[in-house]
A = this chain, B = another copy of it.
Amino acid sequence: MKQDKMALFRPVLTVVAFVWILGAMLALPPLLLAVNEGAHTTRSFVYAAAAFFIIGIWLRSRARQQRFEVSSQQLYLITVASWSVLAVIGAIPLYAAMPQLSFCDAFFESMSGITTTGSTVLTGLDAMPHSLLLWRGLLQWVGGIGIIVISIAILPYLRVGGMRMFSTESSDWSDKTLHHAQEFIQNIGLLYLGLTMLAMGCYWLAGMGWFDAIVHAMTTLSTGGYSTHDASMGYFNDRPLILWFASLFMLLGSLPFSLFVAFMHGKKNALLGDSQVRGFLAFVMILILLFSIERTINSDLDFFRVLTHVAFNVISVISTTGYASDDYTQWGPYAVIIFFYIMFVGGCSGSTAGSMKFFRFQVAFILLRNQLHLMRHPYAVIPSKYNGHVLSDDIVRSIVAFSFYFAFIIAAIALFLSLTGLDFITSLSAAATAVTNVGPGLGDVIGPAGNFSTLPDAAKWILCGGMLIGRLEIMTVIVIFTRTFWRT
């Protein structure tokens, strides 16, 4: 029995050890910046990096993994454990370097970072040591590539929310597929790095300082949304080009990275030939256009200025980035509703974006259309296909279950939040913005002009759970808490 348990957890331990070592390496760039800032932050990052490294090496020696062959049960555990550990790692330097910060706040900020949610409890960002701002950016950047890897290399092999539709082979996860996937994942990593550097250059050309350009590039591509200014991207409102570059790279961050790689390898049709990408881009463009026309008619602003801000804020929310250039909840009651709705859309599968993802809406649309047809023609045989894949019962049930759990988790979290005393709109929008990994909520407290620092600690812990569950496609986390999961 003891032996069995060790065998179960050994691969988990191996990955967790790797995560600690990764944490140590991540702490090095901020450490370099900290050296110029004074003893306080330097000491925090030195101690943190050393501790992470020692813990990692120690765990690695404990794990002693020979062959890397894992069951689906272990894949679930690896995914959830590595993200939880990363959240702890992220919190430690913040907690150490900011004496006024509670551990709850540090953990919230870190979880919000690695899940690329971007809700913040910090104020006074403009005056904050650069090492800490870079650390927040790095957490989101790593969180972004982390979720892409998981959604390409792990989720398709599990029965999570219909992601199986995107698996290249139906075989189980093993050494063979891992090695097969390794090169592919390296390509994606290089692409992610390349796009980030491109964004950096564009931001710099458009007028950002180098440090702002670096951090914002990392939080844009990862659709994370952490900024170096309390005003978020609103700080750059006098430079529309910055907002347009941000819109472009947020949009790129919410497209499927595997199709980018295919595109780079000469498959010219890989992106625009994909139903999800085409549908998503069309939806975003039509929404921006209609919204801009309405805003231009009902305000005294010129069309280009309106278009800049509408495009920026719509893409920011739909890509689940959560930057704000403006308090869009002041645009009118219908704007609040529209921004609330598009929080649930999210980007495409296999991107850094969170939330439901566009393909689930497309599949739901096909199902709903077919159902109406069947009501009138009960014996019709309707072929259900999406993007060239047959919509098998297996995948359909998986997508449906995902949607139900998604709604159920948001409802449950909103209820728990209301029990801590938060009002209706704050509870509901905080739950939604956490699970969808968008960042800002609605209402006076946590709206785009607000901040999460005033929430009670209990609410922050609940939201940490919500962000993690949402980031890992809901059921990956829930399944671990079922009895059947632990039955051998």
Contacts and interface: CB of A to CB of B under 8 A. Distances in A.
Contacts of A398: 371
Interface string A175-210: 000000000000000000000000000000000000
B375 A415 contact: no
A367 B401 contact: yes
A444 to B, nearest CB: 12
A297 to B, nearest CB: 13
17 contacts: A72-B375, A158-B375, A159-B371, A159-B378, A334-B415, A334-B418, A334-B419, A337-B418, A337-B424, A367-B404, A368-B404, A371-B397, A372-B475, A373-B484, A393-B393, A424-B425, A424-B442
Interface string A360-383: 000010011001111111100000
Contacts of A364: 404
A73 B397 contact: no
A371 B401 contact: yes
Q: How large is the interface on A (under 10, 10 to 19, 20 to 34, 35 or more residues)?
A: 35 or more
Closest A-B pairs by Cβ, 7 of them: A371-B401, A334-B418, A337-B418, A333-B418, A159-B375, A336-B424, A334-B419
Interface string A388-414: 000001000110110111011001001
B368 A414 contact: no
A283 interface: no
Mostly, the A contact residues are helix
A415 B337 contact: yes
B427 A372 contact: no
A422 interface: yes
B401 A368 contact: yes
A345 B398 CA distance: 23
A371 to B, nearest CB: 4
